[in-house]
Amino acid sequence: MRQPLNRNLVSALSRQTHLSFVQTEAHSHIQRLRNCSDFVSAASLHSNVLKSGLLAHTFTANHLLNCYVRSRRIDHARNLFDEISEPNIVSWTSLISGYVDVGRPGIALRMFGKMPGCSVMPNEFTFATVIKACSIFSDLRTGKEIHARLEVFGFRINLVVCSSLVDMYGKCNDVDGARRVFDLMGCRNVVSWTSMITAYAQNARGDEALQLFREFSHLMSDRPNHFMLTSIVSACSSLGRLVSGKVAHGAVIRGGHDLSDVVASALVDMYAKCGCLDYSDKIFRRIRYPSVVPYTSMIVGAAKFGLGKLSLELVSEMIDRGIKPNDVTFVGVLHACSHSGLVDEGLEHLKSMFDKHGILPSTKHYTCVVDMLGRTGRLDEAYQLAKSIQADQNSRALLWGTLLSASRLHGRVDIAVEASKQLIDSNQQVAGAYVALSNTYILAGEWDKAHNLRSEMKRNQVRKEPGCSWIEIKDSSYVFYAGDVSSCAQGTEMVNLLRELESRMKERGYVGGSNGLVFVDVEEEAKEEIVGLHSERLALAFGLINTPEGVTIRIMKNLRMCTDCHEAFKLISEIVERDFVVRDVNRFHHFKNGFCICGDFW
């Protein structure tokens, strides 16, 4: 005869069965939450979890919270977070990360500040996330405070945290701070090396970026990722290092990143900035489905070469393919119109920005329009537009500096005086403003005012940035300063070559120093000598001596190329039958057979 089961045993078995059912159901929900990344699914799962009573478990609630974060519904994530009775470090970090991902770093930092009051201690992922928030804000002060806190918590050599710190210091323009963190890291991975290389590249320290990349290649067995290669290509762009850029291009191909949209865009930009627009075009045309980024790089590159019609053809092609231009695209388009004299086309594109594409023109766009109007002699329109624009100090400096250049070009002393006053009063581009106004006075024949202005510069100890040009030969860069030939072993040979070329130019009607835009207080003979030793001419002479016949000579310059040197380069290109490409602070000049691609319009 069967004995009845003990009631306690029945109760225990019942509880175990229920617990097993709950655990199975919880496991099922969690698996679905882990795979959920859209809002509709998240809302449905939220309802199911709520009905099952599992939302009271912080572990399950965190999975749902992450689901809302992945679907970028940060407000729903916040509401859920507020309902969690005991949010743990995962809850806090998930929500903070969500705010960072949707571009609300301020709220992320405020939440981080509340954590100590809730007795929740941050972990390495929390610190990495709030450091990223500081990067987005470029908030160096808060970043340093968090850096100090994480050292107290024992994360000073943590790989994830330190990589974030390097990135934060770099984005806050404290490259030396980034390097100190990098040097103290016990171990490094591709991410940390990439962060440091990017910090150098983004802060105009391209030489150090290239040097660090060489160290990475020598010390690490890992292959560079596409982020690192993009930064290296960008460093070559800023330096105008064509040979180094080609080496980086080789690394891109070996790593299988040549079809990456971002890397390809960087290569398009690099070859354009190194004076090889045909290479840019080849890479651009290899991209099967180009996005707005490579299109914009190509449009800007063509603009720098004065190929305005090509830029306009590219933007039309892009729009025909259903690719929406962005604000940077239109900066390139307007810049192209400005440097090609396409005023009507430029004004039409400015109007289309908002009317057709919903993009509100910014100060950068209006600055291009001021330049466009000014270059074609419509100074009064350019002046009225400049006066009407509200902008921050840096943007206003660029705006008025552009107007100053145009007024000097057309001899409008009245506008040049006003533009110079705006720049000097704002303490922006002061030396350039003095020099441009002085040259405007000279063109107008007002020599006394020019002399007085130069005297004022001396009294106020305002010094113009020295002219500097550099040339790359066999992966080595050679730098030249105006008038300085003594520092180069081939100085005498260079001067003799320039004198010989000048003699042959004069046979073609060249008059050295004739534009009057050099120095006020020197005699004509001395003025001609000074112009003859401008930095770009020294670089050209060095290039002619040290490169084989027929090779294109590529020169970079930190200032605008003067009209006298521009005329000389045209004549020399015809005399020696070689192509020269000069990249100055404004644009490219490609000299060939006595002509420049800019059509003398720059």
Q: What is the pLDDT of residues 277-315, one digit of tens each?
A: 999 999 999 888 899 999 999 999 999 888 899 999 999
**What is the model's pLDDT at position 238?**
87
**Quick one: which of 357, 300, 298, 301 has its CA closest to 334?**
300
pLDDT band at 49 (very low <50, low <70, confident <90, very high): low
**477 contacts 542 by C-beta, under 8 angstroms:** no
480 forms bridges with which residues in the sheet?
469
- Whether residue 487 lies inside any domain: the answer is yes
Q: How many domains in the chain?
A: 1
Confidence of residue 528 (pLDDT cuts 50, 70, 90): very low
- Counting Cα atoms < 13 Å in the Cβ hemisphere of 359 gives 20
Please give the mean pLDDT across all residues of the chain: 84
CA nearest to 488, candidates 497, 478, 498? 478
Model confidence at 141: pLDDT above 90? yes
Beta-strand relationship, 553-557 and 588-592: unpaired
pLDDT at residue number 521:
40
Which ranges of 53-188 would DSSP assign to H, the alpha helix? 58-70, 74-83, 89-101, 105-114, 124-137, 140-152, 159-171, 175-184
For residue 477, the cross-strand partners are 472
Is residue 531 included in any domain, yes or no?
yes
Helix, strand or coil for residue 471? strand
Q: Which residues contact 515 (CB under 8 A, 6 or more apart)?
A: 562, 563, 564
Closest CA to 200 of 176, 227, 165, 218: 176
How many secondary structure helices (H) and strands (E) does the chain include? 30, 6
Cα separation of 182 and 191, whole Å?
11
User: Does a structural domain hold residue 244?
Assistant: no
Contact present, 26 and 62 (Cβ < 8 Å): no
Indicate the range of 430-439, 476-485, 503-512 predicted with least confidence: 430-439
pLDDT of residue 253: 93
Other C-beta atoms closer than 10 Å to the C-beta of 397 total: 20
Q: Angle of helix 124-137 relative to helix 105-114, nearest 10 degrees?
A: 140
Q: Does residue 586 form part of some domain?
A: yes
- State the Cα–Cα distance between residues 235 and 239, nearest whole angstrom: 6
For the residues of 97-122, what is the DSSP string, one character each? HHHHHTT-HHHHHHHHHHTGGGT---
pLDDT band of 145, cuts 50, 70, 90: very high
Residue 566, domain member (yes or no): yes
> pTM of the prediction?
0.77
CA angle (476, 480, 481) in 5-degree steps: 155
Looking up tokens 């171990």 gives: 187
Map tokens 């908002």 to a residue.
Answer: 354
pLDDT of residue 99: 94
Cβ neighbour number for residue 154 with a 10 Å cutoff:
9
Segment 483-520, tens digit of pLDDT: 888 888 898 999 999 999 999 999 988 886 544 444 44
CA 491 to mean position of chain CA atoms? 36
- Quote the pLDDT of residue 413: 87
H-helix or E-strand spanning residue 554: strand 553-557
Closest CA to 488 of 529, 527, 526, 541: 541
Q: How many CB atoms lie within 10 A of CB 250?
A: 11
Paired strand residues for 560 = none
Domain membership flag for residue 396? no
- Token readout for 499 is 């004198």
Q: Report pLDDT for 22.
A: 42
**Rounded to whole angstroms, what are the CA distances from 139 to 156, 172, 174, 240, 457?**
20, 7, 11, 31, 36
Output phi, psi for 39, to 5 deg.
-65, -40
Residue whose pair of structure tokens reads 């449905």 in the numeric block: 44
Q: What percent of the chain lies above the pLDDT cut of 90?
A: 51
Cα Dmax for the chain: 131
Tens of pLDDT, residue by residue over 361-403, are 999 999 999 999 998 899 999 999 999 988 887 788 888 888 9
Residue 526 pLDDT exceeds 70:
no
CA dihedral defined by 364, 368, 369, 375, rounded to 10 degrees?
Answer: 150
Q: How far apart are CA 293 and CA 297, in angstroms?
A: 6
Q: What is the pLDDT of residues 306-364, one digit of tens each?
A: 889 999 999 999 999 999 999 999 999 999 999 888 999 999 999 999 999 999 999 99
Tell me which of 263 and 395 has the higher pLDDT: 263
Nearest to 494 by CA among 525, 468, 548, 533: 533
Burial of 417 (0-12, 13-18, 19+ CB in 10 A): middle
Q: Is residue 558 part of a domain?
A: yes
Q: Which domain holds residue 539?
A: 468-596
Whether pLDDT at 235 is above 50 = yes
Residue 407: inside a domain: no
On whether the CB atoms of residues 429 and 499 are closer than 8 A, the answer is no
CA distances, 582 to each of 273, 513, 569 (Å): 10, 20, 9
